[in-house]
Amino acid sequence: MLVWRGGLLVIAGSMTVGAFVAYLQLYLRFIGRGFRIPQLVNSIQSGGAAYARLKPWLAPPLPPYAEPRWASFHASQIAGA
The span from the CA of 7 to the CA of 13, in Å, is: 10
Nearest to 19 by CA among 4, 7, 35, 34: 7
Q: How many CB atoms lie within 10 A of CB 7?
A: 13
- What domain range includes position 7? 2-56
Q: Tens of pLDDT along 3-27?
A: 888 888 889 988 899 988 998 898 8
The reply to whether 30 falls in a domain is yes
The reply to whether 25 falls in a domain is yes
3-class SS string, 1-56:
CHHHHHHHHHHHCCCCHHHHHHHHHHHHHHHHCCCHHHHHHHHHHHHHHHHHHHHH
Q: Tens of pLDDT along 32-59?
A: 877 788 888 999 999 999 999 999 999 8
| Whether the predicted model's global pTM rises above the 0.75 cut | no
Quote the number of domains for the chain: 1
